[in-house]
Structure formats: structure tokens, C-alpha cells
Chain A
Amino acid sequence: MEKLLEVKNLKTYFTLKSENFGVKPEVVKAVNDLSFEVNKGEILGIVGESGCGKSTLGKTILKLNHKSGGEILYNGSEIFDLSDKDLKDLRKKMQMVFQDPFSSLNPRKKVGSLLAQPMKIHNMGTKEEIEAKIDKIMEEVGINPVYKGRFPHQFSGGQRQRIGIARALMLDPEFIICDEAVSALDVSIQAQVLNLLLDLHDKYKFTYIFIAHDLAVVEFISTRILVMYLGKIVESADKNELVKDHLHPYTKALFDAFPVTDPKGRENREPVLMGDVPSPINPPSGCHFHPRCPRVMDKCRLEYPPLKEVSPGHKVACWLYE
């Protein structure tokens, strides 16, 4: 398989403002030494709870955030080393769909002009070409092009998310990051948008990174899944492999905690994972998951386990599998 994106030892740290004079400012290690690859045409799901760094990771890959270390190679070239002009050209190929379709569209602009904007910024096409493209893309995402004179507030949440997707498609990208793209939608609408994303994937062979907290959604759409916890990848595997055989205790807890739509046997469910997600400012020593882990050992408190390949394509960072 051909690699599209390669992330090596990526770090993104944020320094918090020091509250007291003379006190060393605290550092949040939002993305802490991650390495993974994205192959052409795959849908890589990234799942984790709030504060695990999944959104920061998505933004850093598109250079919407700074990085504190490591490499992000897109088709072999480091995106943080590109000149402004080269980066602008690259941006055409990488697009992002955001969570909140209410705040990611300018309320004062008509849909037609919102969709025309990306092409204007990149000086692409004549006026007629842009109009033709808008009609085509709106059709594609399931919104009648006659509505391009409307404002965003005149559409429902699901339609607005379709407009957000349409906007990402205007420049014929090859790589799209969806950051919680269906989380704000009602389930019946969410299903429609997921189907749309898959239809587009089949037609244009996009590569997606699909970031979400909802395990069921990630499990459904992805071909491969990364599970994150406090800035680290704890497990990564092909979707089918991960669903069948999740190894890391955190992945297991995540699968167990997900409410099942079947009331039978709910009295004797597995005990739930106790404790809270610790603050990413001061993550626990050793393996960050050890205070909540039901299978904790002495070693876990001291040293962070390496991400190790246990079977082809299945990596896990846990001392149990050493």
C-alpha cells in the first residue's frame, strides 16, 4: 500500500500561562510522541475521550497548530518545512470538516459565496466555472443548487454539515480530516451524513482521517483505528481485528462502556471502569492509564510501555504484551 502521510515522533505541547510569578509554567503534552502512517485511500479512525489529543493531532497534521517535535511527511515532504507558496498549493489537497456546522459557516454569507470562497482564494476557474462547480458539488452532497442564495441559518443542522462537506470538496482534495463531523447531529441525520461520506469515498477514493469520540461511529466508518489516551496511541489495528480482539485494557474498557441497545442481561454487565480521566497537565507516571487499569502491575507505574507490534498491523502499548 502506498503511504500518503507519515507521522514520526510527533509532539505538540502547549505551555500554560503561569498563575504565580516565579512559578514554572505548566506544559500540556497534548500530542506526546506519536508515530503512525496513513495509507492512500484508507479511512483511519481516531477514537478517544475528551482531552486525549485527537483534535490537536488532526489540526497539527494540517499545520493549523504548531508542533514541538517530530516529523509530518505528506507524500514524503515535511509540511512544516514547505515555503508559504508550496504550503498553499498543498492546502488544496488537504481539507477539514468540523464538528459544529453552526459556528463553522459565516452566518452573513450566502451558501453560494461560502462555497465559492475556496476557489477564489486559490485563483481557480472563471466565474462561470466556479458556478458550475458549486452546482455540481451541491448536487453531490444532496442539497438542491437552487438554495445557493440562502443563508446558513435557513438550513437544518444536517444540511449545514452537508454544506461543510461541500466546501471541503470544492478544491478536489485527496485527503480530508473529519473532526467529530457527525457528533452534533441527531442519529437519523448522522446516518445520512455517514452514508454520504462513504459514497464520496467510493467515488473519489479520498483518504480520510475520521476523528470521533463515538466508538460505534468510528467502528462503522473506518478501515483502521487508532485508540488514544492522554496524548498517546495505546492501540492501533485494522477495524475488524480491533473489534474482534482488543488487547489494551483501555480499549476493552471503551468497548465495555459503550451502551448497548439491548436491555437483556444488563443486571450482570461487567463492572465499569472507575475513576476519571486524569488531567493531561500532569499525567500519571509510567503508563498513563495505570491508576484506572484493572490489570495494573508494578512495572506500569514506572515506565511507559512502547507501542509494539503483536501481530501484523496490530500494535499495542501495554506491558501485558511484552
Chain B
Amino acid sequence: MLLSYLLLSGVTTGALYALVALGLVVVNKATGILNFSQGELFMFSGFIAWSLHVQLGLGYLPSFLGTVLAGFALGLTIDRVAFRPVKSSDVIAIVLATVGISFVLKGAARIIWGGKSDYLSFPPITSPDPIVVGPVLIIPQQIVAFLGAVAIMLGFAAFFRYSRLGKMMQATADNKKAATLVGIRTDRIYTLAFGTGAAVAAAAAVLAAPLTLLYPDMGFSFFIKGFAAAVLGGLASLPGAVLGGFLVGIVEALAGGYIHSSVMEVSAFIMIMIVLIVRPTGLLSFYQARRV
């Protein structure tokens, strides 16, 4: 009973981490950098969803769409403000710029939504009562979040496999110079990558919102777990990020259930440190030249 419950909740949160990780990987594949404000995009989108759903009284689906659009717009802004002006300089400048943005978002959320109470709760979209199926206890809300996340992942895969834009993004990630030569506007692809990455984070936030409370400091923990998931998959692999997300979620749930609840927070940090030191190219890659 405990094990099945833990696995189920691990898979659910893992699916959300996988979405955050997908956003990181899309940006990393296209541009070679990490968006340190990904977690704050997630948090900020969660608050936008709250405003749309609770304050404006929109339904869950319209607020979902609205939030994803808003997230996309935020991603474009980040590209314009913090990436494009500094992209030709060193990596320190880019990292510091995205870190700066993340704090601007966090402070803005604190100013806009923080005054009402420290933690905002998002109303549940299904009945809160758990369903008992044989020996397994299922919380409907988790199932909704899980199915939503899987649907988004499938949509993502289809986008990259079948759409023209997705193929252009893959070509740019593969070889920027060649992509430019065949007429792809790589600058726009970068912009698009930031937008898509942020939109995925926004989608994850709307799915996660009914399961967790919203507060301005929540972004970092999702960022670090999303990063743990991405780095388990090697930081440049979309399937790897999904696998990593589930792994991080399950390990975290098991550690919380069997060791101590406080270990949940720290399991991701430990995983990051171990993976980076022992196997910096991720679990799925077998050989890669060292980047210098």
C-alpha cells in the first residue's frame, strides 16, 4: 500500500519535473546555455493561472491556454532581454543575466501576489476524495496531472518529429552553421526555443498548481529538480529528460517515504552532484568527447 502510493505520487511529480526538464533541454539544445530562470517562469506562470482561474473566474481549460500563451510571451521576453544582447560573449555573462531575470520574476511575484497571503491555494479541479482500486490508492488530481503531462510530452515529440518548425529547431541544434546555410533564421529559432521552453514550464505549472500551494520561492526547487532530470538524461536529450524526470520523482518519493520526509528536498541535489561527478554526459550517452 505504501509502496504503490509512493510510486504513484513519484510518477506524478516526476512527470511534472520532466516537463520542467524538457523546457531546459529545448533551450539548451538550441542555444547551448541553460535558462536559470526556468524555475521562476514555472512559479510566475502558476500565479498567472491562479489570477485567471480564481480572480477572473475563467474555467480550468481557458486558464490553461491563457497561461501557456503568457508563458510563451515571457520566454520571448527573456530571449530579448537576457539572451540576445549577451549571447556572443562569455558564458558567465549569460548565466548571470538569466539569474538576474529569475530574481526579477521572483520579486515581481512577491510584490504582485505575495501580499494576499504567503501561500495561495489553487482550487482542485476534480473531487479531492481518493479512489481505492484494489490495493492501490489513487488521487484523481494526480491522475489528471499525470495524463496532462504525458499528453504534453507526446505533443512535444510530435512537434519535433512532424512539424516544419520542429525540424528547423532540430537542424539548428544539430549544426548552426549548416542550418544558416540552408536558410533557417537561427536567431528566430533561438527565440522560439526560449518561448517553447517557457510555455512548457507554464503548462507544467498549471498542472501542478492544484497539487501544491503557490508561493514565490517555489521556483527554485522545481528548477533544481528539473535540472537534475535533464542532467540525468545528458542535458541535450528530450527522451532522456523525460526518463530523468520520472527517475527524480520516484527516487524523491521513495526517499521521503522510507527514510525521512526531509530527505525529499535534498535527494535531487545529491543526484546532481553524483551524476555530474561520475557521469557528466548523462545516463543515456555512451561516448562523448570532453568539451573544453
The answer to whether A binds B is no
Which A residues fall within an 8 A CB radius of B? none
